[in-house]
Amino acid sequence: MKRRVGSTSMWGMICLSLAVALLAAGCSGGSTLTPKNAPPKFACVSGEGQLTKDIAPQAELVDFTCAFKKWKGAETLHFSVTIKNVSNEPQRYRVNIFMDNGKAVGGLIPRKTKKGLVQPGQTASFVYPVKDMATQPKAVILKISTVGK
């Protein structure tokens, strides 16, 4: 019986490479959420330490969650932000959300001041859609600042 030299070591290397690839895939922290595999509401980033917050002392972040919803005909990522006014004066807030892929969204809370500002102890929220974003971001920077009255 003849034995081929090197064929056993080649199969061993292929098996080892496959095992390393499967191990790396299993330890990667899970898959990125998309509209097909996401729950109705979910954390905006999957890993601990992937959310950087810069919040004004007059504000408290009550809720920061994500969801995929239809917007302009396509399923896209939406950020839901709820802020509580912890100061002694009515406030208006500027919200900026920066993602690792270079996209950014934001706006003012309250969006219009006709009904007044956010009163002390009260909460206000807004939902920010991200155009053409069908995956969960890997990292997010959330910045909340006050706006002059």
pLDDT at residue 31, as a whole number:
63
pLDDT digits (tens, 9 = 90+) for 45-99: 877 779 999 999 999 999 999 988 877 878 889 999 999 999 999 999 999 999 9
**Taking the alpha carbons of 38, 74, 80, 50 in that order, is the dihedral positive or negative?**
positive
Structural domains of the chain, ranges and CATH numbers in brackets? 42-146 (2.60.40)
pLDDT in tens, 54-65: 999 999 999 999
pTM of the entire predicted model = 0.74
Give 134's pLDDT tier (boundaries 50, 70, 90).
confident
pLDDT over 80 (residue 23): no
By CB neighbour count within 10 A (0-12 exposed, 13-18 middle, 19+ buried), where does 33 fall? buried
